[in-house]
């Protein structure tokens, strides 16, 4: 038997490899877009950046160094130039697919960074497996703009696993809904009517504002925003404002809120401030054909009947008054139970005996039903 040549001995010492085989190699050179590995074969293995990761921004010199060992899969034994082409990402994807399968079967909650915001949803990568989360499964409410999720770490579960079609679907919505349900339960166990709680303005509408109480939203109706008159909720609040609100009523899952705190109730000391005979000053808030409503302070309006605006006859309040005018008048009627106050400018003048009889006949006119007037105004606005 003839002796083997050195080349033959070297050839026999080198293992044979096949496409699809998983081997371990040692890094002998690293470039930004290529890693060279000794895989114990007559040719070194070439691992390009495209076969290392799906992230095109990666510099391979930052992820590997000479002397590192890596497990890779043979992509091609000979690329036509005698080189062995390797892949790392496909091996990782195979293992990642098994990882996703386990998570799918066990209903495991996964965490990953959003790699891409797409028109129809979000894309995340778990162990080189790309998972798509449709927009409808991102949250429990519709979100038109998903860009806020770019780069964020999010939690989700796998709702569809189909490795043959490489279809992996994630679902974040059910986790968000479950978390909200838990927070809502905790909130309702903690709060009761009469409590003052902290909240954040979530949405502002024509009729009020929705306040996030940390588990459920409460409605702050326009009528509960102030003891005074509110022109429009959007002039009072904006989304993101933090508020301390009073829980006025809890009805099932609905929470009614208020900012009309008792200690700020303008009617609290009204009996002494607005006793009959007192002289007060206020501003004309609005007018009707039969009189003007004068705001004495936020939350306290009084009626100045047309017959009490001046000593002389006044046809319409707008003939002598305008909204915003400051007026000084005497309290001629105070009804705390119904929160009604009647004013008279005429009564601030020295009485004229010749007119006393006419004034007596006007007395009944002054005690107009203010609630009925306000109700009529509201009906007209609707």
What would the pLDDT profile of 337-354 be if each residue is shown by its tens digit? Answer: 888 999 999 998 866 665
Strand, helix or coil at 221? Answer: strand
Q: What are phi and psi of 293, to 5 degrees?
A: -95, 125
**What would the two tokens of residue 36 be?**
């060279």
The mean pLDDT of 160-164, rounded to a whole number, is: 91
Are residues 362 and 353 in contact, defined by beta-carbon separation less than 8 angstroms? no
In terms of Cβ atoms closer than 10 Å to its own Cβ (0-12, 13-18, 19+), residue 86 is buried
pLDDT at 364: 44
pLDDT at residue 367 greater than cutoff 50:
no
Are residues 287 and 293 in contact, defined by beta-carbon separation less than 8 angstroms? yes
Ordered structural domains, the chain, with CATH: 6-87 (2.40.50.140), 107-176 (2.40.50.140), 192-263 (2.40.50.140), 270-381 (2.40.50.140)
Rounded Cα distance between 6 and 3, Å, is 9
In the DSSP assignment, the letter for residue 108 is P
The mean pLDDT of 320-334, rounded to a whole number, is: 93
Cβ neighbours, 10 Å, residue 156: 25
Listed in sequence order, the residues at least 6 apart from 38 whose beta carbon sits closer than 8 Å to its beta carbon are: 25, 26, 28, 44, 45
pLDDT at 360: 53
pLDDT at 95: 86
Which one is predicted more confidently, 268 or 186? 186
Rounded Cα distance between 204 and 220, Å, is 9
The fraction of the chain above a pLDDT of 70, given in percent, is: 87
What would the pLDDT profile of 264-317 be if each residue is shown by its tens digit? Answer: 888 888 888 899 999 999 999 999 999 999 999 988 999 999 999 988 898 999
When mean pLDDT is compared across 47-51, 105-109, 356-360, the lowest value belongs to 356-360
What would the pLDDT profile of 228-262 be if each residue is shown by its tens digit? Answer: 888 899 999 999 999 999 999 999 989 999 999 98
Token look-up 């006419």 returns: 358
pLDDT at residue 366 greater than cutoff 70:
no
pLDDT at residue 4 greater than cutoff 90:
no
pLDDT at 79: 65
What would the pLDDT profile of 204-219 be if each residue is shown by its tens digit? Answer: 999 999 999 998 999 9
User: 121-126 and 69-76 as β-strands: parallel, antiparallel, unpaired?
Assistant: unpaired
Categorize the per-residue pLDDT at 355 as very low, low, confident or very high, splitting at 50, 70 and 90.
Answer: low
Which one is predicted more confidently, 162 or 4? 162
Are residues 143 and 133 in contact, defined by beta-carbon separation less than 8 angstroms? no
Listed in sequence order, the residues at least 6 apart from 81 whose beta carbon sits closer than 8 Å to its beta carbon are: none
pLDDT at residue 42 greater than cutoff 90:
no
pLDDT at residue 8 greater than cutoff 60:
no
Listed in sequence order, the residues at least 6 apart from 82 whose beta carbon sits closer than 8 Å to its beta carbon are: 43
The fraction of the chain above a pLDDT of 90, given in percent, is: 62
What would the pLDDT profile of 63-114 be if each residue is shown by its tens digit? Answer: 999 999 999 999 988 766 778 999 998 888 888 889 999 999 999 999 999 9
pLDDT at residue 361 greater than cutoff 60:
no
Mean pLDDT, the chain, as a whole number?
86
Instruction: Provide the phi-psi class of 297: left if phi over 0, else alpha when psi is between -120 and 50, else beta.
Output: beta
Helix and strand numbers (H, E) in the chain are: 6, 20
pLDDT at residue 138 greater than cutoff 60:
yes
pLDDT at 205: 95
Rounded Cα distance between 133 and 171, Å, is 6
Strand partners, 72: 23
Are residues 107 and 75 in contact, defined by beta-carbon separation less than 8 angstroms? no
pLDDT at residue 380 greater than cutoff 70:
no
Cα radius of gyration rounded to whole Å, the chain: 40
Strand partners, 122: 117, 133
pLDDT at 3: 54
Which one is predicted more confidently, 261 or 370? 261
pLDDT at 16: 75
């Amino acid at each position: 038997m003839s002796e083997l040549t050195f080349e033959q001995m070297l050839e026999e010492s080198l293992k044979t490899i096949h496409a699809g085989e998983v081997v371990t190699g040692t890094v002998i050179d690293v470039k930004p877009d290529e890693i060279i590995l000794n895989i114990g074969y007559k040719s070194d293995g070439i691992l390009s950046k495209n076969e290392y990761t799906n992230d095109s921004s990666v510099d391979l010199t930052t992820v590997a160094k000479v002397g590192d060992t890596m497990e890779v899969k043979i992509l091609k034994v000979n690329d036509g130039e005698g080189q062995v082409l390797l892949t790392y990402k496909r091996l990782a994807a195979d293992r990642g697919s098994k990882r996703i399968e386990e998570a799918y079967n066990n209903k495991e909650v996964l965490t990953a960074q959003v790699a891409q915001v797409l028109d129809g949803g979000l894309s995340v990568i778990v162990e080189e497996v790309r998972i798509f989360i449709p927009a409808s499964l991102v949250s429990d409410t519709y979100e038109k703009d998903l860009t806020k999720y770019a780069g964020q770490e999010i939690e989700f579960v796998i709702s569809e696993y189909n490795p043959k079609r490489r279809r992996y679907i994630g679902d974040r919505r059910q986790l968000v809904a479950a978390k909200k349900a838990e927070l809502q339960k905790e909130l309702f166990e903690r709060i009761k009517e009469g409590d003052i709680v902290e909240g954040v303005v979530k949405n502002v509408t024509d009729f009020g504002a929705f306040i996030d109480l940390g588990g459920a939203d409460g409605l702050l109706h326009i009528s509960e925003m102030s003891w005074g008159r509110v022109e429009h909720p959007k002039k009072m609040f904006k989304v993101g404002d933090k508020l301390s609100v009073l829980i006025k009523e809890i009805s099932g899952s609905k929470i009614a809120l208020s900012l009309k705190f008792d200690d700020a109730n303008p009617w609290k000391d009204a009996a002494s401030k607005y006793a009959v005979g007192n002289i007060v000053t206020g501003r004309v808030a609005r007018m009707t054909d039969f009189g003007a409503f004068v705001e004495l302070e936020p939350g306290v309006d009084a009626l100045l009947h047309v017959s009490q605006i001046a000593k002389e006859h006044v046809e319409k309040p707008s003939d002598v008054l305008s909204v915003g005018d400051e007026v000084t008048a005497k309290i001629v009627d105070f009804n705390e139970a119904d929160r009604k106050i009647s004013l008279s400018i005429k009564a601030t003048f020295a009485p004229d005996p010749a007119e006393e009889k006419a004034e007596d006949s006007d007395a009944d006119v002054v005690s107009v039903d203010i609630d009925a007037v306000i109700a009529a105004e509201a009906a007209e606005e609707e």
